[in-house]
Homo-oligomer: A and B are copies of this chain.
Amino acid sequence: MEKTENPILKAYSKENLPEMYQVLAPNGEIIESIDGKIDKSLMLKMYESMLLLRMFDRKSVNLQRQGRMGTYAPFEGQEASQIGSAFALSAGDWMFPTYRDHAAAIIHGQEMYRVFLYWMGHVEGSICPEGKRTMPPCVPIATQMVHAVGTAWASKLKGEENVSIAYFGDGATSEGDFHEALNFAGVYKTPTIFFCQNNGYAISVPFEKQSASKTISQRADAYDIHGVRVDGNDIFAVWLTVKEAVERALKGEGPTLIEAITFRYGAHTTADNPNIYRNQEDISTFWRENRDPITRLKKLLINKGFWNEEQEEMVLKQISEQIDTHLQKAEEYPKADPLDMFNHVYAEESWHINEQQQELKQILKKDVKK
């Protein structure tokens, strides 16, 4: 069985490093000054958020295994990309995440119990808190990218100071919608940020089978828009890059395409077995040991005396409780009422849907009687 070499290791290799923006090296050293840009409190917030969301992700995988949740798409390994980018946004910004971007969504205001509900197949799993613009996870690949052009365009037309950010993967860059979105954003100079997490794989397909192009960021040139390549496991670099893109967008300088090099440690979804298409053990261990986004920040924090194991233990306990609270909320959430499926198809009622709702109501009554 041919197992393809990990293309991400190539991306991380020396030749490619020069074009990949990095601030916090894997060994925890700062290799580019962040003075006046990232202070202790932000570092700690970033760190604790990554811890929280890693725990959340692991919990979710477990819940799926226990049959308490449906298929789930884990993001472990990609925390720096998702959290670093989301930290750079303002509350009113529009976020278009995929099925894997719960860390980004949660940082941007989505609630953990909603994410649980989403994967429990609850009809109310796609709502975000009132007033927020954290859109439901997008399932059809790359389709959300054009939405982020539209919302950003509207912000611009209305003179509102908001950006729109679309999350997507390396695989998504093959879809026509990727192209159309970047092109439209270029034409209308919309304040859109295209944030690609290049984790090297679209399910089993390595990026080298996805395209002959070496990088994703180079595609920005095709539209004369700005493109950047960044170490997606370096939360500082990600944050700084997205912050700059936000500023550029708000100054009217148009969209940015960001390629964040990262890796998912686990399966594509809980329905996937990565051992079939890559040396899962080797490759994940390699990444965990050499590139982990959390470990490297921890090293820095400890070096700087900002953090110690006691604090870690305490925070982990808090996090665990916090997640449990959300889980409880999700599991105690009123069970989805089948009759709900007839609501919100349209803003106004329609005879055919009403009748079908009545029809099911009768059936359900009968079921209860039995």
A-side residues, CB < 8 A to B, are: 174-180, 183, 186-187, 189, 209-214, 218-219, 221-225, 254
Given A187-B209, A213-B186, A222 contacting B219 (CB threshold 8 A):
yes
B residues less than 8 Å from A221 (CB atoms): 213, 218, 221-222
A37 to B223 alpha-carbon distance, docked (Å)? 36
Interface majority SS on A: helix, strand, loop or mixed? helix
B residues less than 8 Å from A223 (CB atoms): 211-213
Given A186-B211, A222-B221, A176 contacting B177 (CB threshold 8 A):
yes
A212 to B224 alpha-carbon distance, docked (Å)? 6
Q: Identify which of A210, A213, A223 gathers the most chain B CB atoms within 10 Å of its CB.
A: A213
**Which 6 pairs, one residue from A and one from B, show the smallest C-beta to C-beta distance?**
A176-B176, A179-B179, A186-B212, A222-B222, A219-B222, A212-B224
B residues less than 8 Å from A219 (CB atoms): 222
Output the least CB separation between A33 and chain B (Å).
32
A214 to B211 alpha-carbon distance, docked (Å)? 23
B residues less than 8 Å from A178 (CB atoms): 179
Output the least CB separation between A261 and chain B (Å).
18
Q: Which residue of B lies closest to A254 (CB)?
A: B212
A254 to B211 alpha-carbon distance, docked (Å)? 13
B residues less than 8 Å from A187 (CB atoms): 209-212
